[in-house]
Amino acid sequence: VRRTQAGDLILLISADDKKFLLKLAGEGELHTHQGILQHESMIDVPLGTVVHSHLGEPFLLLRPTLQEILLNTKRKSQIIFPKDIGYILLRLSIGPGSTVVEAGTGSGALTTALAWAVGPAGRVFSYDSREDMQALARENLERLGLEGRVRLIVRDIEEGFEQRDADAVFLDLPNPHDYLAQTREALCNGGTLGSILPTTNQVAQLVRALREHGFQSIEVCELLLRFYKTLPSRLRPEDRMVAHTGYLIFGRSLHE
Amino acid sequence: VRRTQAGDLILLISADDKKFLLKLAGEGELHTHQGILQHESMIDVPLGTVVHSHLGEPFLLLRPTLQEILLNTKRKSQIIFPKDIGYILLRLSIGPGSTVVEAGTGSGALTTALAWAVGPAGRVFSYDSREDMQALARENLERLGLEGRVRLIVRDIEEGFEQRDADAVFLDLPNPHDYLAQTREALCNGGTLGSILPTTNQVAQLVRALREHGFQSIEVCELLLRFYKTLPSRLRPEDRMVAHTGYLIFGRSLHE
Amino acid sequence: VRRTQAGDLILLISADDKKFLLKLAGEGELHTHQGILQHESMIDVPLGTVVHSHLGEPFLLLRPTLQEILLNTKRKSQIIFPKDIGYILLRLSIGPGSTVVEAGTGSGALTTALAWAVGPAGRVFSYDSREDMQALARENLERLGLEGRVRLIVRDIEEGFEQRDADAVFLDLPNPHDYLAQTREALCNGGTLGSILPTTNQVAQLVRALREHGFQSIEVCELLLRFYKTLPSRLRPEDRMVAHTGYLIFGRSLHE
Amino acid sequence: VRRTQAGDLILLISADDKKFLLKLAGEGELHTHQGILQHESMIDVPLGTVVHSHLGEPFLLLRPTLQEILLNTKRKSQIIFPKDIGYILLRLSIGPGSTVVEAGTGSGALTTALAWAVGPAGRVFSYDSREDMQALARENLERLGLEGRVRLIVRDIEEGFEQRDADAVFLDLPNPHDYLAQTREALCNGGTLGSILPTTNQVAQLVRALREHGFQSIEVCELLLRFYKTLPSRLRPEDRMVAHTGYLIFGRSLHE
């Protein structure tokens, strides 16, 4: 069984099922509704240990899942939902060893998922024109110790990407149609572009531009996630659901 | 730019957009509607090369995406759809280095995605009581060179799993509710169980059993994927869609 | 152009688009956030007239649509949503001259729609075991002057319906499967039963009972209504939607 | 119990559940896969009778439901689906006595539903520039004996509608945005316009025009209808569904 160490991102679950995500540091304290916990007391203990606040309240110490990490991203902007991120990773074929370019970084939720998925052998290059957003994304990545896999680049991508032969490029911008020439330069032959857009007008504009730039296998889709109430004798969907996060658009860049 | 070598799984795209997935072997031949291609002529060439059949027809040689691989799984049974696999990987937090247990193996589509996502540092243990299914799954894994990350085990999981401290267990069986004690033994503290079931009756039965076995954070959901026609001046959903693949069920095993 | 008369149910729309539904009576007053309106001043005026409150604020006087009436039903219980009522009316073939039986009456939203659709030549028989619910439904029907088309019956339908040869029977109860013999007695040959149920468990139970009682053309469905934001240059779905109101179940009673 | 008469539209159901819709005429014959039936033998018999073909095969004789009639509309063009028609009738508040204008007539499925819903006291005015479509719609209406409630008008609605003070106008045309001035002239104060359009581009164009023409309470929505398999011990959605029929758009015309 793994033991925690300073720098780990951990999850604490209180007896009343509240969750706390924190990065263990030598001298920190976590203040909760059920008392204070010293970081020091949570270092070098086995995952799954029950630790106690100064009030004696129990907290279960675990490793957070990627979904818990993503939903806890510190944000200054709308983040991409886990349901969409799961499909994006699969559709862009992002896995251990992949090289992927992203613009814009935003709060870094997708950046985090990309860095997590490419593993230590992969590389993520993430562009944003705003330094403050990149600072926030860096903070989010550092909580996870993933900053080593990501290069954050402040630059107007109008000037192009620095990378060539990337496996995938993801454009999370209002006007991806303006950067398709730059995207094709950065992608390997057969590499995939992805994008997410909220409005049908933007989708139509991007699809038109993808055709003009010679992208193939263009796909537009949307994912609807419906949750169910979990009473087994009264199984039924929840009353309300998210009706829209964004349309997902994909295309393959083929040279020759 | 990467060059192909014997043993690689590659994708060929014909001029009329037909796709062929094949594993390069020294002496093989691929027969297509546009002529024959010798494997030998496709070894040690750069990805992105245009190769020609004996009729002179061009084929673009690329690396396949995970989605293309999954949709091409040789199957004797229903496979899990990519939309569900993407969410399962994220929700179970399967990434480089993960240890995951699966039952049953079936045709091995999810097994393939798990092996792909855990990377060289991860491990997949996949159980099935039928040897013929495991032989098929092995064949599917070998096409990708992923068989080294997977241990295929023929065993009735009524007897329990051999693993302990797994990050996640996925049960792709008609009666997952019968194996929750075994699942809890195999999972690490805080580890996640996932399952996919076609009928509401099965979901109710599993949710009831999850509660009885003390699983936490039980979630039941379904994902609807809707594609759009890609004419920019006539943007609209496709006429028909898949209405149901299965309900996804997740729960966390907490000890203590 | 029609003129209003005492007893009409009318709709007032304020300048800031607030809607007020009221039944015109000789001496009443309507108190709003923009002043008071005398009923008397709204009688014998053309529909479409702008009337003014004692503060001089304008209100447009119109005839309400059925949807506005339904959404304004005074309620003590969950009412059936318009999206479902529209489909139920069509599916049960309720139109001018139809004879339809309903149980239970509840707050009377569906009763209202049925009475509205069958016209002066049709008949609605609505059962409920609770007198207070029927009193509320009566009040809702009287606002519209539709009470003459409806007979409200306080009775436990375990004892059977009084009608025979009805075109349709709608069961809005938690346990419709308990009343299928009674329903068949009340329906004409080829007549249709409809029901709405919130949980999958209830649906399974009803479908089983429908088969046992020899109903044909059994159909189970659900309707999802998704609204869009109406900015033409940023057309996109609303962020959230109703994920579930109920499953609709239909079956045809065939004698012989 | 009602008895059939010459001119009735009836439904025959064979023992293997095939359905036949026909209008009873004195001397006609119906040829089926299970033999021939003389119309004469089906006149003046009670609804619910079992009649027999010349081969002795039984057929149950019933009155068809509106849905069966709509799905059997003879068509030269795409018809509006029952799920959408149910919501349109409710949303436009079409009931006994309503006056409604429609353009274009098309094959007449919606025309039929409108004529059916307005009853003998209502009126439908349906415009189409193509005489052949109106001839087909007339044929569909005559099968039902509903032609007396409908005036079919061959005219380019660019010139305007002949009606004033209509309760509702429904535009089933590719370019409804071109006829909003004409629509406002035809509608009563507070009357509702409805339209159905397949593409997001058309919806954006119509919404823009509705705003320019001063329509209020603009609503854009879509209805998804999902069917379930009706095995009670294996309750689950059908594998596939209709993903799109059209977007529904509504707006209220307010004068003053």
Helix B131-144 and helix B109-118: axis angle, to 10°?
40
Which positions 169-198 of D are in contact with B (Cβ < 8 Å)? 198
Q: Which residues, listed in sequence order, are joined to residue D21 by a DSSP beta bridge? A: D11
Q: How many A×D Cβ pairs under 8 Å?
A: 9
Q: Is residue B2 scored above 90 in pLDDT?
A: no
Q: Is residue A256 scored above 70 in pLDDT?
A: no
Q: What is the mean pLDDT of residues B74-90?
A: 95
| pLDDT tens per residue across all 256 residues of chain C | 689 999 899 999 999 889 999 999 888 999 999 999 999 999 999 988 999 999 999 999 999 999 999 998 999 988 999 999 999 999 999 999 999 999 999 999 999 999 999 999 999 999 999 999 999 999 999 988 899 999 999 999 999 999 999 999 999 999 999 999 999 999 999 999 999 999 999 999 999 999 999 999 999 999 999 999 999 999 999 999 999 999 999 999 988 6
Tell me, what's the pLDDT at C255? 81
Cis peptide bond prior to C104, omega within 30° of 0: yes
Q: Is residue D1 scored above 80 in pLDDT?
A: no
* pLDDT tens track for A145-204: 899 999 999 999 999 999 999 999 999 999 999 999 999 999 999 999 999 999 999 999
Q: Shortest Cα distance from D161 to chain A (angstroms)?
A: 33
| CA–CA distance, A252 with A254 (Å, rounded to integer) | 6
> A interface mutation test: which of D200, D208, D221, D249 has the most A CBs within 10 A?
D200
Q: Is residue B180 scored above 80 in pLDDT?
A: yes
Of D235, D236, D241, which has the smallest distance from its Cβ to B241's Cβ? D241
D123-128 vs D150-154, strand pairing mode:
parallel
pLDDT mean across residues, chain D: 95
The three-state secondary structure class of D16 is coil
D176 phi/psi in degrees, rounded to 5: -60, -25
Tell me, what's the pLDDT at A26? 81
Contacts of C249 in chain B (CB under 8 A): none
Considering chain B, what percentage of its residues have pLDDT values greater than 70? Answer: 99
The answer to whether D78 faces chain C, any CB pair under 8 Å, is no
Q: Does A97 sit within 8 Å of B116, measured CB to CB?
A: no
The three-state secondary structure class of C178 is helix
Chains that touch A (3 or more CB pairs under 8 A): B, C, D
The three-state secondary structure class of C38 is strand
The answer to whether D133 faces chain C, any CB pair under 8 Å, is no
Q: Which of D109, D110, D141, D103 is nearest to D23 (CA)?
A: D141
Q: Which of B200, B207, D15 is nearest to C207 (CA)?
A: B200
Q: Which of A46, D69, B167, A117 is nearest to C90 (CA)?
A: D69
Beta strand extents in chain C (DSSP E only): 9-14, 19-23, 29-32, 35-38, 50-52, 58-62, 99-103, 123-128, 150-154, 166-171, 187-197, 216-229, 236-237, 240-242, 247-252
Q: Does C226 sit within 8 Å of A237, measured CB to CB?
A: no
Tell me, what's the pLDDT at B256? 65
The three-state secondary structure class of D112 is helix
* pLDDT tens track for D104-117: 999 999 999 999 99
ipTM of this predicted structure: 0.94
Of B198, B200, B237, which has the smallest distance from its Cβ to D243's Cβ? B237
Q: What is the mean pLDDT of residues B174-188?
A: 97
Tell me, what's the pLDDT at A10? 93
Q: Is residue D227 scored above 70 in pLDDT?
A: yes
Contacts of A204 in chain D (CB under 8 A): 200-201
Q: How confident is the model at residue A129 (pLDDT cuts 50, 70, 90)?
A: very high
Tell me, what's the pLDDT at D2? 82
Q: Does D234 sit within 8 Å of B243, measured CB to CB?
A: no
Q: Which of D121, D126, D96 is nearest to D111 (CA)?
A: D126
Neighbouring CB atoms inside 10 A of B105's CB total 29
Nearest CA in chain B to D245: B239
How distant is the alpha carbon of residue B178 from its chain centre?
Answer: 24
CA atoms in the 13 A half-sphere facing the CB of C58: 8
Q: Which of B113, B135, B123 is nearest to B186 (CA)?
A: B123
Beta strand extents in chain B (DSSP E only): 9-14, 19-23, 29-32, 35-38, 50-52, 58-62, 99-103, 123-128, 150-154, 166-171, 187-197, 216-229, 236-237, 240-242, 247-252
* pLDDT tens track for D150-171: 999 999 999 999 999 999 999 9
User: What are C142's two structure tokens?
Assistant: 């009287």
Neighbouring CB atoms inside 10 A of B152's CB total 21
* pLDDT tens track for C182-198: 999 999 999 999 999 99
DSSP A115-158: HHHH-TT-EEEEEES-HHHHHHHHHHHHHHT-GGGEEEEE--GG
* pLDDT tens track for D117-154: 999 999 999 999 999 999 999 999 998 889 999 999 99
Q: What is the mean pLDDT of residues D231-248?
A: 98
CB B109 within 8 A of CB B116: no
Q: Does A92 sit within 8 Å of B190, measured CB to CB?
A: no
Q: Does C247 sit within 8 Å of D223, measured CB to CB?
A: no
Contacts of A229 in chain B (CB under 8 A): 220
Nearest CA in chain D to B198: D236
* pLDDT tens track for A4-61: 999 899 999 999 889 999 999 888 999 999 999 999 999 999 988 999 999 999 999 9
Q: Please name the residues in contact with A223: beta carbons below 8 A apart, sequence gap of 6 or more.
A: A83, A84, A87, A245, A248, B83, B223, B224, B225
Tell me, what's the pLDDT at C200? 98
User: What are A58's two structure tokens?
Assistant: 């129990």
Tell me, what's the pLDDT at B27? 86
Q: Is residue A208 scored above 70 in pLDDT?
A: yes
H helix or E strand, kind and range, residue D38: strand D35-38
Q: Does C243 sit within 8 Å of A239, measured CB to CB?
A: yes
* pLDDT tens track for D12-31: 999 988 999 999 988 899 99
* pLDDT tens track for A86-123: 999 999 999 999 999 999 999 999 999 999 999 999 99
CA atoms in the 13 A half-sphere facing the CB of B172: 26
Q: Does D254 sit within 8 Å of C247, measured CB to CB?
A: no
Q: How many A×C Cβ pairs under 8 Å?
A: 50
Q: Is residue A1 scored above 80 in pLDDT?
A: no
Q: Does D237 sit within 8 Å of B240, measured CB to CB?
A: no
